[in-house]
Amino acid sequence: MTAKANPQTEKSARVLLKIEQQIAWVQLNRANKRNALDLAMFEAIRDCQKLIAKDQSIRAVIVAGNGEDFCSGLDIKAVMSNKWNAIKLLWKWLPGNANLAQKVSVGWRRLKVPVIVAIHGRCWGGGMQIALGADFRIASPSSSLSIMETKWGLIPDMAGNLALRDCMSKDQAMKLSMTAEEISSQQALELNLITEISEQPVAAAKQLAEQIKQQSPDAIKAIKKLFHKRWQDFDRYILASETLSQWRILLGKNQTIAVKRQSGKNIEYK
């Protein structure tokens, strides 16, 4: 008799999380399927985001993929073979809320700390949507990137459009979304789809995370909130948000510590 898989064990194995020196390392861990997204992996990414959000010691997050590819996209066979899987992915109580499919992207944006994605190999479809949720995307020179949903007769609906609105011109974003074209990392850089190219994207991501760690966590969190919440907003809202954020920082301890650190004192941030 064949033993049934334990759904909880299966889900936890899909994504690995470890925290080292205030950096949360997230690894997509379905290498035998090129990290293609099935329901268990969607749930595992969401749960991982929740754990990170609760840990106040974390200063930055790095997301990478195990195996040959970062993520080859949606596991169509696994997800579409059961109609309840599709319902679980798309269900939401209110239209403006994020469903499970959208949380794996927008969940990174909603974390208070910076999120860096290290891309290698294929970053297609759902994988591209996950990467778009991050604050920074560092890709290897040989990476292949694609907003691939139209190949399956679908639209990109995993919240990556929020990032496309911020980083690309509308016509270029529409072109990539409509054609499902596979582009190189160099093309992606020219289109502002990624932040930079590195021969060793994980190492480059760690270097960036370490740079961020040297700054006041209050300032870093405020900058992320300001840029994501107000980047496309009216001037008055941006001006107001800048001032309110600065007052909160000035009233906290970390700004004083930042000044002392610049004076050569070795003091840890609170």
Give the list of residues 6+ apart from residue 74 with CB closer than 8 angstroms, or none.
36, 37, 125, 126, 152
How many folded domains does the chain comprise? 2
Q: Is residue 185 part of a domain?
A: yes
pLDDT in tens, the chain (270 residues): 223 334 445 666 999 999 999 999 999 999 999 999 999 999 999 999 999 999 999 999 999 999 999 999 999 888 877 778 778 888 887 888 899 999 999 999 999 999 999 999 999 999 999 999 999 999 999 999 999 999 988 899 898 899 999 999 999 999 999 999 999 999 999 999 999 999 999 999 999 999 999 999 999 999 999 998 877 776 787 788 878 888 888 888 999 888 888 888 889 998
Last residue of a domain, one of 172, 192, 213: 213
Are 175 and 254 part of one and the same domain?
no
Q: Is residue 31 part of a domain?
A: yes
Are 231 and 123 part of one and the same domain?
no
Are 64 and 129 part of one and the same domain?
yes
Q: Is residue 95 part of a domain?
A: yes
Q: Is residue 270 part of a domain?
A: no
Are 162 and 198 part of one and the same domain?
yes
d(CA 38, CA 80): 9
Q: How many angstroms separate the first and last alpha carbons of the chain? A: 55
Are 32 and 117 part of one and the same domain?
yes
The model carries a pTM of 0.89
d(CA 45, CA 161): 19
**In sequence order, what E strands does the chain have?**
15-20, 23-28, 60-65, 115-119, 122-124, 136-139, 144-146, 183-184, 196-197
Q: Is residue 1 part of a domain?
A: no
Instruction: Say if residue 193 is exposed, middle or buried (CB neighbours under 10 Å; 0-12, 13-18, 19+).
Output: buried
Q: Is residue 168 part of a domain?
A: yes
H/E element holding 251? none
* CATH code of 138's domain: 3.90.226.10
Are 201 and 250 part of one and the same domain?
no
Q: Is residue 268 part of a domain?
A: no
Q: Is residue 2 part of a domain?
A: no
**3-state class of 152 per DSSP?**
helix
Are 134 and 118 part of one and the same domain?
yes
Note the residue count of the chain: 270
Q: 239 is in which domain, residue-wise?
A: 217-262
